[in-house]
Structure formats: structure tokens, C-alpha cells
Amino acid sequence: MPTIRILSDRVANQIAAGEVIERPAAVVKELVENSLDAGATRVEVEFRSGGRASIRVEDNGCGMSKDDALLSLERHATSKLVETADLDRLHSFGFRGEAVPSIASISRFELQTRRADAAHGTEVVVNGGKLVHVRECGVAAGTRIVVSHLFHPVPARRKFLKSDPTESAHIIQTVRLYALACPQTAFTLIEDGRVLFQSPVCATLTERVAEIFGRQFAADLLPVAVTEEGMTLAGLIGQPGTSRSTRHEMITFVNRRPVDSRTLNYALLESYATTLPKGRYPVAVLFLELDPAAVDVNVHPAKREVRFRSEGQVRGFVIRAVLQRLRERGGAVSAAPPPLLSAEPRDEIPGLPAVPAAAAVVPASSPPSAIAQPFKPFIKSPGLAPLPPPRAPVAPSTPAAASGAPAASAQRLLGWRFLGCKPSSASGPWKASGCSSRFRWSSTPSPARC
């Protein structure tokens, strides 16, 4: 029997990283979440070779002191939670204190950070979990992290990476989700030196949806805003009859966190059951806001799934809210809501089942996927979906966000124009769209929007 020994922090981090960081897009997700938690109003993401060569995430958030910067590399070091009960009051994306040490243990990790009130910044470089150096540096207020040589210390993981275009597509999809989640943060995404998209701060979700999916797409959606028993459902849904062949554009957020929730997916499918034919999926960008105590976000290694305390209640609420909106719109929905299924999702859902054939039929030429639609001139949408309040920074120091971006960056954040890309066959909001370099976004500023 081999002797039991306690793993070194480095090995423990590398093993833990296996769960959290499955591919380059997971690095982007974790770093962007940290930027948003730090109150950033500007986030810039740049990556090379599908994120394999390098990933840079830069923000104008609250930044960190030297001590905090070093502490952030320790496992279970977080500024977002003190005790377990805090999970019931959680308003941040992160809470486990494991993303930064995990990433730093499996890459070359360069962190530069400065709080707005500090005279100089701190640079920390870690290679495969080993500290290379810590020194003072000049850097704009906020945080800049560059991750390169990803998975070098864990070659087995490298072998599981897909082609660069596939990994790029996952990164793009990840940034799109967070850009939707936080319209009030300006986003820039750069791939191999080419700006894929830029969006300034947007006042409304509709504006951000228009930035990402195109003006026409946004204009065709119906705003939803329903509050009931402590839950609010806000966002945009497709008109009755608008459908897609994948559930790519069924995008749901719970307390701003992009989630792949079977409960919400079911609720949406059920709401549209009578208006969409078999095998078609509705379009939605929906934000469910509820008491953090009513949802468990600590059920998935990458926090992609959540569990509701009362699945049935959430599901019933979403169905009622969506059906009500569809009825107001005069959609061909049945007079009575479809009977609610059991609180637990049906077994056949995971593969995203064919929706039961419906009475109403989608027009023969149903619109192509939004991501396939070319850029169209701006058309004002019928209404602006209200937004949940922006997140407050949760990092310990005062956010530098308000001070704004450096002039050069600010100039580049004037706006982006969607130029279209090929549709993909992948499904689910977390699945990459397969667009990658096929995405075409203009880096030229578009007319004032927000």
C-alpha cells in the first residue's frame, strides 16, 4: 500500500484546474467574470491561436494591491465570500477563490494590476504554478492578465483541445454571453490581432442584443418584464412562430450568470410548444432575477448549471410570463397554458428533445439564425427591455471603473458592426457557435447607438 501524502499546492492546483479550466474559453470566462466582479466598465479580451498561444484580459475595474495580487494566487483566497451563508447573499460571479490559482498553475500567468489610489502597480509572473517574480510596474488602474502556454504543465489536457477555429468559437461565444449579461460594460474582442467586435456601454439589453445579433434581430424580439413573488423575468423573446433549428439562441441568465438550465430551457420550450413545430427552438435572451438564497450556484465545477430551491415554482413562473407576453402579442398560443410537467425536468430533455408538434406552423421561410443574418441598419425596437441593476464591484477596494478607459482604448470602443457569419450546427448557448474566424465584425465605429 503506497504511503499517503499531502499533495503540494502546485499539484493540487493543477489537479483542481482540470475541473475549472477545461479549455481556453474557460480561462476567458473566469478572467472576464473577475473583471466584471471588480466593477469594470470596460473589458478587453484578446487571444491568439484559439487561446492556445495567449489570452489577454484587461479591465478598468478596482485593481488589486500588491498583497491582494499575491493572495489572489492562493487557493481558496477570495474577496467575495467569508462564510458559507454568504452564498445565500451572493451577487458576484465568483466565490470559490480557485480560478486564478488554477489558471496560474497550468500556464505562464502574468498579472499587472493597480488600484486607482496607488502610485504604481504590481506585476506578478507565475510559470506553471511557480512564482517567477513580483515587482512594481506602471499600468493603468485596473487589471491586466496575460495567460500563455496554456496546459503546458499538463500535456494530457492539451491533447483534448480541438482545432483553433473550434476553440476560438468557444471563446467568442463566452464573450458574447458576458457581453449580453452586462450591457453596461464596454466589451472588445480581438482575435489574432483582428478586432472581432467592439461594443460601447449600452443603456439597454436591446441595444446590446442589437450589437451582437444585429439590429433587425433585436427589433423583431418582444420585450418581457414580469415580476411575481420575488422573481423577475426580464429580457427579450421571439415572436410566436420565430424559431431556430438549434437552441443556440435560447440564452438564459440567472441573477446575471449565464446558465444552461434545464428548468429554464423546459419552461421556454413548453411556452412555445403550441407555436413551434417539432424540432424547432424558440429565440430568447432572458434574465431571471430571484433571491440568491433561492438558487444554488455551487452545483457545477464551472458554475454553468444552477439548482433552484423550487424548480416547479420557477418553471411555472417563466411559462406564465412568456405565455402572457405571447398572448398579448396575439400569438397562436392555446387558450389555457399547457399543463405544467412535473417539477423535475423530463428525462428526454438533455438532448433537447423534439418539441411536441404544435398547432401553429412556422412560416415556410422562417428566418435564418440571427448569427447568419447580415448587418441591417438600425431599426428601433418596439420597446426596450428593462435591465436588472448593474453589479456592484465586490473586490475589496474602490473601483477605478468610473475613471474611465485610457484615451487610446476609449477611442477603439466606439462601437462594432455585425457583418454576419455562417450558422453552425452546435446547440445550446454554451456551445460555441462555430463562427470563430468566420465571424465578421467591423472594427469601424458605427453610428452612435447607446
Ligand X SMILES: Nc1ncnc2c1ncn2[C@@H]1O[C@H](COP(=O)(O)OP(=O)(O)OP(=O)(O)O)[C@@H](O)[C@H]1O
| Binding stretches for Mg ion (CB under 5 A) | 34, 94, 99
H/E run at residue 99:
helix 99-105
Cα–Cα dist 237/286, whole Å: 7
Q: Which one of the spans 54-62, 153-161, 243-251, 360-368 is the region binding ligand X (CB under 6 A)?
A: 54-62
| Site string (8-47) toward ligand X, x via CB under 6 A | ----------------------x---xx--x---------
Look up residue 417 and give its amino acid: R
Which of 180, 395, 432, 435 is the binder for ligand X (CB under 6 A)? 395
Cβ-based nearer residue to Mg ion, 99 or 405 = 99
Cβ-based nearer residue to ligand X, 169 or 395 = 395
Find how far residue 176's CA is from the centre of its chain. Answer: 6
Find how far residue 224's CA is from the centre of its chain. Answer: 20
Joined grid coordinates for residue 157: 489536457
Under the criterion CB under 6 A, does residue 59 sit at the interface with ligand X? yes
| Site string (64-103) toward ligand X, x via CB under 6 A | x-------x----xxxx-------------xxxxxxx---
Cβ-based nearer residue to ligand X, 187 or 418 = 187
Number of residues that bind ligand X (CB under 6 A): 23
Joined grid coordinates for residue 268: 421556454
In terms of Cα–Cα distance, which of 248, 218, 252 is closest to 233? 252
Q: Tell me if 38 sits within 8 A of 445, measured CB to CB.
A: no
Shortest spacing between CB 87 and ligand X, in angstroms: 11
Residue nearest to ligand X (CB): 94
Under the criterion CB under 6 A, does residue 56 sit at the interface with ligand X? no
Cβ-based nearer residue to ligand X, 28 or 314 = 28
| Site string (343-362) toward ligand X, x via CB under 6 A | --------------------
Cα–Cα dist 333/158, whole Å: 49
Q: Which one of the spans 62-70, 82-90, 340-348, 426-434 is the region binding ligand X (CB under 6 A)?
A: 62-70
In terms of Cα–Cα distance, which of 355, 387, 362 is closest to 267? 355
Q: Tell me if 190 sits within 8 A of 44, measured CB to CB.
A: yes
Cβ-based nearer residue to ligand X, 73 or 322 = 73
Joined grid coordinates for residue 432: 460555441
Residue nearest to Mg ion (CB): 94
Which residues lie below 8 Å from residue 244, measured CB to CB, with a gap of 6+? 280, 281, 282, 283, 369
Strands (E), 260-398: 284-289, 295-296, 307-308
Binding site for ligand X (CB under 6 A): 30, 34-35, 38, 59, 61-64, 72, 77-80, 94-100, 143, 395
